[in-house]
Structure 1
Amino acid sequence: MPTRRTFVRTGAAAAITGAVSVAALESGAIPGRGRVHELLGLTGPDGVVPAVPAGPVVSGSFASRARGTDVGYSVIYPDGYTAGARLPVVLALHGRGGDHRSAVNDLGVDRFLSSAIRNGTPPFAIATVDGGQDSYWHRRADGDDPGYMLAEEFLPLLARRGLNTSRYGVFGWSMGGYGTLLHVLRETVKPIVAGAMSPALWHSYDDVQPGAFDDAADFARNQVFGHPGAFRDVAVRIDCGRDDPFAAAAHDLRTELGAAGGQQPGLHTGGYWRRMLPDQLRFLGTKLAN
């Protein structure tokens, strides 16, 4: 019959084993950390689209020479403002597989924007545009150049629509989060503010998602690490879930740039991005106004 001492020893051993297991999970030393954290409720709640009225959304398309095709776009205004209001504008760059409709259809950005303005964030509009489903927002070997399209075609179009592009921002998620950071790096006339959620970042070409870059030289040309001076005059926020596959690289770049943001409980999901949108939009609007 087991004695009390046996129970104590067994309990201690179990506690030690449990502590080791938790440490291994937290360090990423064993596979499936994100799945285990999700089952244990450690990845945080999904964000909920606010129950507020959406403002006007104006959509259209234009022939893009940079992309060699017609490109769809939408301009999202906060509730209480008319389409065509002269507001500062933030470009929204969608993730892989998305298009200009993803911000509203997948994340509810139109209602998050209205909610942010209701809660005191200075008003601005959000402009979304088709960047290609797997372009990663840079010039590709086939000549498709969504980065050039943003700066040389889309921003002038927005100015003609009456938006204030003299002080603009940019933000995106996943592929679009990387595109946001690349836009800051590439442009001579830089945005005032940039926000990235779960940016698709890699230190090594050997680790990249297939199709994200044409080859190793393309990866090297479009690397956002190692250029802190290019971000010096731009307010940058980088958020990434701690169980996201890009968490370590996002942490490294945030540290390199001294950027705002952080690592929160979360995965690489729409639920995490919706949870982070209020903080991202508040950051973007406040920096644009200042």
Structure 2
Amino acid sequence: MPTPSRATTITRRALLAAGGSLLLAGGAFEAVDQRLLPGRSTMYRVLGLDGPAGRIPDVPPVPSTSGTFVSAARGGRTVGWTIAAPPSATPLPVAVALHGYGGDHRTFSGNALGYDRFLAAHLRSGGAPFAVAAVDGGNRYWHRRADGDDPASMVVDEFLPLLGDRGLDTTRLGLTGNSMGGYGALHLGGVLGAERVRVVAALSPALWTTAGDTARGAFDDAADFRTNTVLGRQRALDGIAVRVDCGTGDGFEPAVRAYRQGFRVAPAGGLEPGGHDRAYWRRTAPDQIAFLGRHLTA
């Protein structure tokens, strides 16, 4: 048998190496996909597994009003607010929108998440009218902190009365939010209960199953996490219509999946391709808006 040439030998070696690399890559993909290795969110984004990006509707937004007030519950901080509400001869129900980490009251309007335009499109399609009202909570994860800053009390004791003074019907109350605000909506909904809240719609809520996994600053310490986690407290939302959405390429997906599984009756929404980003949040916004409107006006 002829002796293989050096070129042939190199080619075979290259093929073997390439095959081994493919096997290693496949193994790494599986390990990342099963969260045995970090990087699942990045991998899904790079491989185009997050699904199509949502787009803000090209329609005129509902009218918005903005202002500020000094919050005693937040230690004298001046906080901003924005209300997006269609004209109405009667008091409208209201969904309070809680922003994510790094956001503020403007997150839900304009070119950010565009809820003022999604709400307008909802109304054009015959959806029930309601208002969306957002307020600044800082990066404090929407619960009372050890330094006395209490954005949850600010919402209940200061912002809701402001909304009532401006003609909105706070007895028909909804809560919504994305990321940190998604957690905040679930937490505050459980604190207030069905006597105060009709509907909660959480988008990619920032949830963790253990204190050791939490982001720095989300909770003061392990005791604060145990006091304020929403996992294991799903019964606090009994009697409230609940929707929870999260992308499968989102780093919070495992905890959100565990949270959804903790309900006796599965909440609306679900897990579908998407990242922890505006592309997914805008894609999910029409369903969130429709869910809020349906249950606020039922």
Query: Matched residue of 1:196: which SS?
Result: strand
Q: Report the TM-score, using the length of structure 2 for normalisation.
A: 0.87
Cα distance in 2 for residues equivalent to 1:178 and 1:209: 13
Structure 2 residue corresponding to 1:228, chosen from 227, 234, 247: 234
Structure 2 residue corresponding to 1:155, chosen from 143, 152, 160: 160
Structure 2 residue corresponding to 1:123, chosen from 115, 125, 129: 129
Query: Matched residue of 1:263: which SS?
Result: strand
Match of 1:39 in 2: 46
Task: Say if 2:100 is the partner of 1:55.
Answer: no
Match of 2:278 in 1: 270
Which string of whole-angstrom CA distances, capped at 9 and with x for unpartnered residues, describes residues 175-230 of structure 1?
00010011011115431000111111111111110011111111111111112321
Amino acid corresponding to residue 209 of structure 2 in structure 1: H
The unaligned stretches of length 5 or more in structure 2 are none
The unaligned stretches of length 5 or more in structure 1 are none
Whether contact under 8 Å (2:41, 2:251) holds in the other structure is no
Return the offset for 1:241.
0.7
Q: Report the TM-score, using the length of structure 1 for normalisation.
A: 0.89
- Bigger drift between 36-45 and 155-164 goes to 36-45
Task: Say if 2:273 is the partner of 1:260.
Answer: no
Cα distance in 1 for residues equivalent to 2:243 and 2:208: 18
Structure 1 residue corresponding to 2:243, chosen from 219, 237, 244: 237
Cα distance in 2 for residues equivalent to 1:135 and 1:57: 26
Structure 2 residue corresponding to 1:212, chosen from 191, 201, 218: 218
Cα distance in 2 for residues equivalent to 1:183 and 1:54: 28
Whether contact under 8 Å (1:147, 1:183) holds in the other structure is yes
Return the offset for 1:38.
1.8
Amino acid corresponding to residue 124 of structure 2 in structure 1: R
Which string of whole-angstrom CA distances, capped at 9 and with x for unpartnered residues, describes residues 110-157 of structure 1?
10111112122211110000111x110001111111101111111111
Query: Matched residue of 1:102: which SS?
Result: coil
> What RMSD in Å do the two structures reach over aligned CA positions?
2.3
Spell out the pairing of 1:190-201 with structure 2 (5 A cutoff): 190-201=196-207
Identity level (%): 47
Query: Matched residue of 2:242: which SS?
Result: strand
Cα distance in 2 for residues equivalent to 1:48 and 1:27: 30
Return the offset for 1:14.
9.9
Return the offset for 1:50.
0.4
Structure 2 residue corresponding to 1:279, chosen from 263, 284, 287: 287
Amino acid corresponding to residue 126 of structure 2 in structure 1: G
- Bigger drift between 12-21 and 178-187 goes to 12-21
